């Protein structure tokens, strides 16, 4: 049969459906100068109709970094659009420019119309807040470029400023000028790779409740959208009283303020003069971050900075405070050669003063000290191994991985174990004459490390009867289907051939018969229309990375055990 674009993975009809759904959202952002109608080859903007006489065009582009990962894990897609718009329009504000129009780029491996519509609705809503039109965009469906459920965003803003109102006005900046800080709403959209690493290494996850009432999760808090400053601050920036404006974006306080100062000037800030949101205090403590790391990575509660003459500072502050929380946070100083351009005093004191955020762990238990010793047997890349390592690293884990054994040398899984500081052994099955001999070599190493539980994570050997008998109730395996259906090596193929609508993964105890041991934990995964072995396998893998660690904790904690005749009791 002839191939089609659709069975290559690109659904033009879905793309058209999306465009029809977002047309009214874009039209609602129309403003003087354009009518924001989607569907043409290009968008038009009339500067004259927008009231400009001698304008300079100003453009900016940005993304939202790995904050996207958190949105995707939390399945919360309605606010990330504001982050995208804010990152672009706040940047062009630094030139004194009013944002006029915005374009977005949404890329994915497989287009989910509902998710894309949610994201773009957020972008349109943010454009209204910023006072710019959503003039167009691009939705790119690229099979194989992104894993299922993942997407990427980029934004492009164009603004204008009358020639005489451009910022920064470097020649006017002088020693003794005052620095005004405008409050951020939280972490904004920078430093999220560090944020995610801190959460991963902590005993919490994005669904952990925060605060006294616990009605907000850590994920919700970290997804607080970036503030858009254009409408509230433009009148102040055009008043003639402001010499410079800096958006505190990637590079934090240390690297963004110098971008709007002459070479010979720096600033001294006092962290006790503004309120640092609790999330920064939590990140600082949980990640054991240095002061420099905090100020070079994060905004620390200050989303934007204005430089004004000392005599006008109180008046400008009052004007800003009509719409935004703001403070006098420091002053401009002449620099001695070789000294730091931004100094932040009292940061540690300020961070400790605001350290009241309580994040609650799901496993309401003490830090586990006497952990069950676990060995993981692998043959390849060890993607499930990685999930097991991450979960057992948490202080609340009932298990600890003490050994990783592979029957093949040089595989990626061994490198993952070594990077995590876990001892490894290679026992090559080709060097043994029988399965029983190979198994007893493995058994010897397990005893050497006092192993109590075994996890099979992509281990491609069938274990012998005596070995399974000896370790009965102590070996866990994961299978990529909902057992007892679809046993054996080609589970995904069998699932697709059978035409079932639901599959999943099963963590079970190992019995002598293949894929027949008592079931500990299962997670269901929908089979989607048009799924291939590859796409289905990807989705089931994601479930495996949740199910295997969960099952290991159940067994290691003693919540699940095997009783008589291989039956489970809880």
pLDDT surpasses 60 at 112: yes
385 and 424 inside one domain: yes
Residue 109 has pLDDT above 90, yes or no: yes
Tell which of 131, 150, 165 closes a domain. 165
- Measure the CA–CA gap between 114 and 117, rounded to whole angstroms: 5
Catalytic residue among 188, 479, 492, 508: 479
Q: How many domains does the chain have?
A: 3
What does the pLDDT read at residue 397? 85
User: Cα separation of 242 and 530, whole Å?
Assistant: 58
Backbone angles phi, psi at 490, to 5 degrees: -110, 50
Degrees to nearest 5, angle at CA 136 with 29 and 113: 90
Q: Which of 241-250, 347-356, 452-461 has the lowest mean pLDDT?
A: 347-356
- Cα–Cα distance for residue pair 316/335, rounded to 1 Å: 25
- Chain Cα centroid distance, residue 135: 28
Task: Write out the two tokens for 356.
Answer: 């009241």
Quick: pLDDT tens for 292-343. Answer: 999 999 999 999 999 999 999 999 999 999 999 999 999 999 998 888 999 9
- The stretch 413-431 carries a mean pLDDT of 92
Percent helix, strand and coil across the chain, each to the nearest 5: 35, 25, 40
Question: Mean per-residue pLDDT for 67-88?
Answer: 97
CA 247 – CA 263 distance, rounded (Å): 18
Domain membership of residue 250 as a residue range: 167-367
The answer to whether the CB of 36 falls within 8 A of the CB of 29 is yes
What does 514-567 look like in DSSP terms, one character per residue? TT-SPEEEEEEEEPPTT--HHHHHHHHHHHHHHHHHHHHHHHHTTSSEE-GGG-
Whether the per-residue pLDDT at 369 is higher than 80: the answer is: no
238 catalytically annotated: no
132 and 156 fall within a common domain: yes
Quick one: what percent of the chain has pLDDT higher than 70?
97
**Bigger pLDDT: 308 vs 563:** 308
Average the pLDDT over 544-563 and give the result.
90
Range 210-235 average pLDDT? 90
pLDDT of residue 395: 78
For residue 496, the domain's CATH number is 3.40.50.170
| Domain end point (choices 324, 348, 367) | 367
- Do residues 318 and 422 both lie within one domain? no
Considering the domain architecture, whether residues 39 and 178 belong to the same structural domain is answered as: no
Per-residue confidence (pLDDT) for residue 366, from 0 to 100: 37
Residue-wise pLDDT for 258-270, tens only, equals 999 999 999 999 9
Residue 140 pLDDT more than 90?
Answer: yes
The set of residues, in sequence order, having a beta carbon less than 8 Å from that of 256 and lying 6+ positions away, is: 246, 247, 248, 249, 305
Single out the residue of 109, 105, 107, 110 nearest to residue 146, CA to CA.
109
At 365 the pLDDT is: 35
Whether residues 182 and 154 fall in one domain = no
pLDDT value at 185 more than 70:
yes
Decide if pLDDT at 364 tops 50: no
Tell me, yes or no, whether 557 and 414 share the same domain. Answer: yes
Check which CATH number belongs to the domain holding 309 and give it.
3.90.650.10
Would you say residue 509 has pLDDT above 60?
Answer: yes
How many other C-beta atoms are found inside a 10 Å radius of the C-beta of residue 253?
27
* Whole-number pLDDT of residue 489: 86
Mean pLDDT over residues 215-221, rounded? 90
Specify whether 15 is located in the same domain as 161.
yes
Per the DSSP assignment, residues forming a β-bridge with 56 are 161
Query: Taking all residues of the chain, what is their mean pLDDT, rounded to a whole number?
Result: 92
The verdict on 332 and 441 lying in the same domain is no
> Any residues with CB less than 8 A from the CB of 520 and at least 6 apart, and which?
476, 507, 508, 509, 551, 554, 555, 560, 568
pLDDT of residue 516: 80
Are residue 90 and residue 215 in the same domain, yes or no?
no
Per DSSP, the three-state class of 502 is strand
pLDDT confidence of residue 146:
94
> What pTM did the predictor assign?
0.67
Residues 137 and 276 in one domain: no
Q: Identify any residues that bridge with 523 across adjacent strands, giving them in sequence order.
A: 505
Last residue of some domain: 352, 367, 382? 367
pLDDT score recorded for residue 193: 97
- Give the CATH number for residue 146: 3.30.1330.10
pLDDT at res. 238 = 96
Helix (H) or strand (E) holding 470, with range, is helix 465-470
| Cα dist from 22 to 27, 40, 82, 94, 155, whole Å | 9, 14, 16, 30, 16
* CA-to-CA separations, 246 to 5, 70, 94, 180, 460, in angstroms, rounded: 46, 27, 6, 10, 57
- DSSP-assigned beta bridge partners for residue 105: 138, 154
CA nearest to 550, candidates 507, 509, 516, 519? 507
Among 199, 256, 251, 255, residue whose Cα is nearest residue 222: 199
Let me know if 493 is exposed, middle or buried by CB neighbors in 10 A (0-12, 13-18, 19+).
middle
Mean pLDDT of 387-399: 88
| The predicted structure's pLDDT at residue 37 | 81
The pLDDT value recorded for residue 215 is 77
**Range with the largest mean pLDDT of 5-19, 244-258, 368-382, 407-421:** 244-258
Provide the pLDDT confidence category of residue 360 given band limits of 50, 70 and 90.
low
Identify the bridge partners of residue 267 per DSSP, sorted by sequence position. 332, 342
Q: Which of 234, 67, 63, 106 is CA-nearest to residue 165? A: 234
184 and 150 share one domain: no
Instruction: Please tell me the least confidently modeled range out of 1-10, 211-220, 529-538.
Output: 211-220
Is the backbone peptide bond immediately before 168 cis, with ω within 30 degrees of 0?
yes
Same structural domain, 76 and 179: no
Beta-carbon contacts of residue 551 (< 8 Å; ≥ 6 apart): 476, 478, 507, 520, 521, 560
pLDDT of residue 363: 39
């Amino acid at each position: 049969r002839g191939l089609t674009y659709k069975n290559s993975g690109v659904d033009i009809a879905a793309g058209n459906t999306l465009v029809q759904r977002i047309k009214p959202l874009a039209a609602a952002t129309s403003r003087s100068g354009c009518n924001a109608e989607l569907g043409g080859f290009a968008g038009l903007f009339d500067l004259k109709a927008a009231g400009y006489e001698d304008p300079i065009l100003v453009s900016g582009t940005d993304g939202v970094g790995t904050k996207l990962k958190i949105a995707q894990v939390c399945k919360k897609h309605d606010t990330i659009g504001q982050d995208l718009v804010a990152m672009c329009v706040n940047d062009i504000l630094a030139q004194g420019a009013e944002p006029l129009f915005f374009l977005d780029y949404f890329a994915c491996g497989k287009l989910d119309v509902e998710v894309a519509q949610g994201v773009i609705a957020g972008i349109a809503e943010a454009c209204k807040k910023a006072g710019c039109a959503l003039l167009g965009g691009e939705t790119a469906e690229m099979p194989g470029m992104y894993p299922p459920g993942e997407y990427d965003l980029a934004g492009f803003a164009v603004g204008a400023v009358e020639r005489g109102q451009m910022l920064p006005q470097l020649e006017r900046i002088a020693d003794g000028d005052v620095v005004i800080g405008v409050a951020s709403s939280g972490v904004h959209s920078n430093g999220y790779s560090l944020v995610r690493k801190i959460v991963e290494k902590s005993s919490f996850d994005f669904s952990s409740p925060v605060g006294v009432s616990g009605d907000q999760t850590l994920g919700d808090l970290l997804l607080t959208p970036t503030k858009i400053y254009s409408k509230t601050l433009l009148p102040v920036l055009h008043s003639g009283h402001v010499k410079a404006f800096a958006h505190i974006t990637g590079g934090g306080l240390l690297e963004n303020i110098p971008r709007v100062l002459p070479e010979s000037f720096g600033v001294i800030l006092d962290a006790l003069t503004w309120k640092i949101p609790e999330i920064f205090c939590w990140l600082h403590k949980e990640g054991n971050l240095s002061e420099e790391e905090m100020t070079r990575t994060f905004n620390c509660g200050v989303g934007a900075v204005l430089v004004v003459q000392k005599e006008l500072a109180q008046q400008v502050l009052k004007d800003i405070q009509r719409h935004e929380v703001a403070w006098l946070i420091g002053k401009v100083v002449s620099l001695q050669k070789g000294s730091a351009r931004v100094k932040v005093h009292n940061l540690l004191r300020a961070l400790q003063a605001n350290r009241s955020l309580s994040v609650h762990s799901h496993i309401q238990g003490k830090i586990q000290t006497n952990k069950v010793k676990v060995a993981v047997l692998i043959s390849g890349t060890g993607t499930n191994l990685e999930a097991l390592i991450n979960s057992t690293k948490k202080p609340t884990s009932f298990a600890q991985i003490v050994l990783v054994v592979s029957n093949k040398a040089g595989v990626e899984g061994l490198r993952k174990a070594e990077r995590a500081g876990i001892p490894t052994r290679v026992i090559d099955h080709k060097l043994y004459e029988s399965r029983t001999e190979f198994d007893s070599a493995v058994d010897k190493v397990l005893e050497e490390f006092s192993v109590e539980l075994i996890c099979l994570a992509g281990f491609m050997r069938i274990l012998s009867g005596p070995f399974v008998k000896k370790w009965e109730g102590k070996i866990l395996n994961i299978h990529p289907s909902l057992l007892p259906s679809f046993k054996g090596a080609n589970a995904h193929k069998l699932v697709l051939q059978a035409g079932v609508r639901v599959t999943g993964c099963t963590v079970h105890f190992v019995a002598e018969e293949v894929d027949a041991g008592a079931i500990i934990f299962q997670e269901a995964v929908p089979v989607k229309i048009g799924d291939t072995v590859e796409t289905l396998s990807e989705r089931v893998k994601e479930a495996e990375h949740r199910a295997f660690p969960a099952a290991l904790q159940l067994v290691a904690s003693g919540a699940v055990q095997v009783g008589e005749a291989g039956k489970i009791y809880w």
